[in-house]
Amino acid sequence: MFGMESKKDHLLGIVFVTFEDTGPSVIYNDTDLTEEQTLTLAVEGMTIVGLDEGSQGKTLKEKKASIFDTMDDKRSFGPLPVPDAKDLRAMAITFDVESVDSTDHRITEFGRKCILFLLFKEDYTREILDAYGLIKPYFSVIVRDITTENDLTHANLLDMSRKMGMLFSGKLPRVFTLMDDGSPKELIGKKIPASDVFLVADKNKNTLSILFYHPDPTVWRRRQIYKSASKLNSSVFKNKLKVITVTEIEEMSAILDRLNVSIEKIF
């Protein structure tokens, strides 16, 4: 599976938790869960995270010294049961932010732990499991500018909930490239690596555009591309998209510009 395909909005909302000096604290909740339910979820989530991570996490200093923009501090857990809600499940994504006023030396050194709980109905669990490889990279992109606890504002968390909701609704355009064996690889982020071909799935326009960046692919490669595009349309998008071919540079650039995506230069 390559990600989520849906007919309606499946994300019921988010619960955002931080580990304060005094313990877990729910700082944002746009779900129908009660305060007691969210607090229980927060405590259980922090317990699971603590047991998984142990004492092997990187310090903030080590993270800042890293040359590469990685997802090392983003961990995902679940689906998890939701307290007193048998038909609901939650997926948890954790990350760390810099603390500006903590008196706990562990938080000062390693960062303040945050957990985003994504709430959904139990019957959506299979699709969540299939989309594990997509959710965390997408989240890493939208949370990139949230680096300190001062960034955890109501406006930023509201925007986070909105963007994650867009992902769960299946309405976000998605960009793929094709490997040498024809298998699709989804590309996440504003800068994508150069390739001979890109597939742009846009449910708002009901199109799956094949962008031929190589001006003259071999007959074999062209057949492989069309076959892979057809298979992707069938397996992920249930054949609901119209496959179109784009060969003009200006048109291909316009499509990527509309998605706010640029191709990395080859040096």
Q: Which residues contact 183 (CB under 8 A, 6 or more apart)?
A: 228
Higher pLDDT, 200 or 51: 200
| DSSP state, residue 172 | S
The residue type of 23 is: G
Q: Which residues contact 33 (CB under 8 A, 6 or more apart)?
A: 15, 41, 82, 85, 119
Q: Which residues contact 228 (CB under 8 A, 6 or more apart)?
A: 178, 182, 183, 184, 199
Q: Confidence class of residue 257 from pLDDT cuts 50, 70 and 90?
A: confident
Give yes or no for a contact between 240 and 156, defined as CB atoms under 8 angstroms apart: no
**pLDDT over 90 at 48, yes or no:** no
Q: Confidence class of residue 68 from pLDDT cuts 50, 70 and 90?
A: very low
pLDDT at residue 173 in the model = 80
pLDDT at residue 57 in the model = 63
Q: Which of 39-43, 131-135, 227-231 has the lowest mean pLDDT?
A: 131-135
Which ranges in the chain belong to alpha helices (H)?
A: 35-53, 60-65, 105-110, 125-130, 132-142, 154-169, 219-235, 249-258
Higher pLDDT, 117 or 169: 117
Q: To the nearest whole number, what is the mean pLDDT of the chain? A: 83
pLDDT at residue 17 in the model = 95
CA distance 135 to 151: 21
Calculate mean pLDDT across residues 112-130: 85
Higher pLDDT, 178 or 76: 178
* Residue 188, phi then psi, degrees to nearest 5: -115, 140
pLDDT at residue 7 in the model = 35
Other CB atoms closer than 10 Å to residue 200's CB: what's the count? Answer: 22
Selection from 102-111, 222-231, 253-262 with the highest mean pLDDT:
222-231
- Distances in whole angstroms, Cα of residue 113 to Cα of each of 96, 123, 165: 5, 30, 23
**pLDDT over 70 at 207, yes or no:** yes
pLDDT at residue 230 in the model = 95
Whole-structure pTM value: 0.68
Place of tokens 């024809």: 182
Calculate mean pLDDT across residues 183-210: 87
Q: Confidence class of residue 66 from pLDDT cuts 50, 70 and 90?
A: low
Q: Which residues contact 132 (CB under 8 A, 6 or more apart)?
A: 76
**pLDDT over 80 at 2, yes or no:** no
Among residues 209, 205, 187, the alpha carbon closest in space to that of 261 is found at 187
Q: Which of 152-161, 216-225, 250-259 has the lowest mean pLDDT?
A: 250-259
**pLDDT over 80 at 139, yes or no:** yes
Q: Confidence class of residue 220 from pLDDT cuts 50, 70 and 90?
A: very high
CA distance 6 to 58: 37
Given its phi and psi angles, is residue 125 left (phi above 0), alpha (psi -120 to 50 degrees) or beta? Answer: alpha
**pLDDT over 50 at 254, yes or no:** yes
CA distance 241 to 243: 6
Residues recorded for the chain: 267
The residue type of 90 is: A
Q: Which of 30-44, 61-75, 144-158 has the lowest mean pLDDT?
A: 61-75
| CATH number at 174-263 | 3.40.20
